[in-house]
Amino acid sequence: MTVNPADSPVFGTLFGTDEMRGIFGDRALVQKMLEVEAALARAEARLGIVPAAAAQAIAAAAAVERIDLTALGESTRHVGYPVVGLTKALARAAGGDAARYVHWGATTQDILDTALVLQIREGLAAVERDLRALAEALAEKADAHRAAVMAGRTHLQHALPVTFGYKCAVWLAPLLDHLLRLAELRRRVLVVQFGGAVGTLASLGDKGRAVTEALAGELGLAAPVAPWHVSRERPVETAAFLALVCGTLAKLATDVVLLMQSEIAEVLEPHATGRGGSSTMPQKRNPIASEYILAAARGVHALLPLLFGAMAQDQERATGPWQSEQLALPQIFVLTAGALAHGVTLARGMTVDAARMRANLAATDGLIMAEAFMMALAEKVGRDAAHHLVEKASNAARAAGRPLVETLGADPDVARHLDGAALARLADPAHYLGEALAVVDRVLAVSRERLQSRV
């Protein structure tokens, strides 16, 4: 039973992925908690705090298959946390003298927070894989359509010519920055939490720091300079990073939705029979992937304030804010994974109609080239005078349904400075692309560098 579409057997594939749900599901969390308990026992055995045989028994018993999840659920409802029931079950499974050494020197939040970090590590690996796949697909499109001239639009109106390769490069560039952010994020976030009751590890005497570092080493995590159980920057920064990724995906999806409008029809999402169809209109090909990217992004951005609000942790153990993270962070990962999956499918399979782009480019009878005419005239008569001449000609051309180049050529104030050959050259959108092609080349160069490395 579920009320969250991201976890639903009906809607789940639209809002998330089974992989990410598996990473943050109950079984995965229990297994990660057991891995932390096993790593703690091994670390303490190496330091002579617990017997080596006890650590071996604890590690051997630390498998989710050994845990009765129904009983653990009942314990959690009663206690308020799963760790008490988990450690009792682990102690029973380890048996003998090993049972007394389970959870030695730790507290509930140490296990839950460190297990969360292990889940985050897996989740970020999946995110990075899909970020790279999306970036590779957009890089291919940017290269293939580098010089495919189309209308650039501002305020949803024709502005200046661009190329579709340029548009793809603009979508791609932030993804490459996200790969850098992710590398930096890992260094700050993949950090063990181990502090005992209030963070001082008093129960371990003078070996607290040694155990922390040994536990971090066992789990492949960094050791913090101070416990972070009431300093929640790490999970919040993780969520903020995912929110940035979703914002970038939302930009891509918004553009595709607009480009798929029947009146524009320059780009189409990948299509299969029935995909994006309507129950009543057989002709429809709705932008389904883009719609769910936008829905997921809005969901992630709506959940983010819950995590920021949870940073106000009271004293040495929070009364509520910490628990509220569980409502947001797993869902943020799931929704981001769903958005990325749609993005990869969209980028790999989009249909690009270059002929339609050229037709739309010509739809305003050359008005899109007004700036080019103005700047050429400005060299002769000054910018203000040139702006006035081209604006007047644009209004006349629009009213008469006449090409702008003809209207300008018929104006003696223009003709005395620009002859027919000059006006014809200025009317060609391919001659007024500015940095568009250079932007594509620069982004593709960065793309090759970052996608080949493991930044």
User: Which residues does the annotation mark as catalytic?
Assistant: 278, 317
Structurally, at CATH architecture level, domain 117-189+228-363+439-455 sits in Up-down Bundle (1.20)
Per-residue confidence (pLDDT) for residue 50, from 0 to 100: 97
165-185 pLDDT per residue, tens? 999 999 999 999 999 999 999
Q: How many H helices and E strands in the chain?
A: 19, 4
Transcribe 288-303 into DSSP letters: HHHHHHHHHHHHHHHH
259-284 pLDDT per residue, tens? 999 999 999 998 766 555 555 656 66
List the end-to-end C-alpha distance of the chain, in Å, as a whole number: 41
Share of the chain above pLDDT 70, in %: 97
393's CB contacts (< 8 A; 6+ apart) are 373, 404, 407, 408, 411, 414
Per-residue confidence (pLDDT) for residue 176, from 0 to 100: 97
CB-based burial of residue 48 (10 Å sphere; 0-12 exposed, 13-18 middle, 19+ buried)? Answer: exposed
Q: What is the pTM of this model?
A: 0.93
Query: Could you say which DSSP state residue 159 is in?
Result: E
Per-residue confidence (pLDDT) for residue 426, from 0 to 100: 93
Place of tokens 């908690």: 33
397's CB contacts (< 8 A; 6+ apart) are 365, 366, 367, 403, 404, 406, 407
Place of tokens 């797993």: 330
- CA nearest neighbour of 174 among 126, 238, 267, 243: 243
Residue ranges of the chain with pLDDT lower than 70?
Answer: 272-284, 455
Please report, to the nearest 10 degrees, the dihedral formed by the alpha carbons of residues 157, 246, 299, 329 taken in order.
Answer: -170
Of 3.40.50.300, 1.10.3720.10, 1.10.275.10, 1.10.3210.50, which CATH number belongs to 20-106+192-227?
1.10.275.10
C-alpha torsion sign, points 113, 118, 122, 127: positive
Per-residue confidence (pLDDT) for residue 43, from 0 to 100: 98
Q: Tokens for 113?
A: 């927070």
CATH code of 367-426, in short, is: 1.10.40.30
Per-residue confidence (pLDDT) for residue 273, from 0 to 100: 62
Task: Say what angle helices 69-79 and 83-94 make with each other, to 10 degrees.
Answer: 140
Q: Tokens for 203?
A: 């129960």
- State the maximum Cα–Cα separation within the chain, in Å, rounded to a whole number: 103
The structural domains of the chain, with segments of one domain joined by +, span 20-106+192-227, 117-189+228-363+439-455, 367-426
352-391 pLDDT per residue, tens? 999 999 999 999 999 999 999 999 999 999 999 999 999 9
For residues 339 and 249, give the distance between their C-alpha atoms in angstroms, rounded to a whole number. Answer: 7
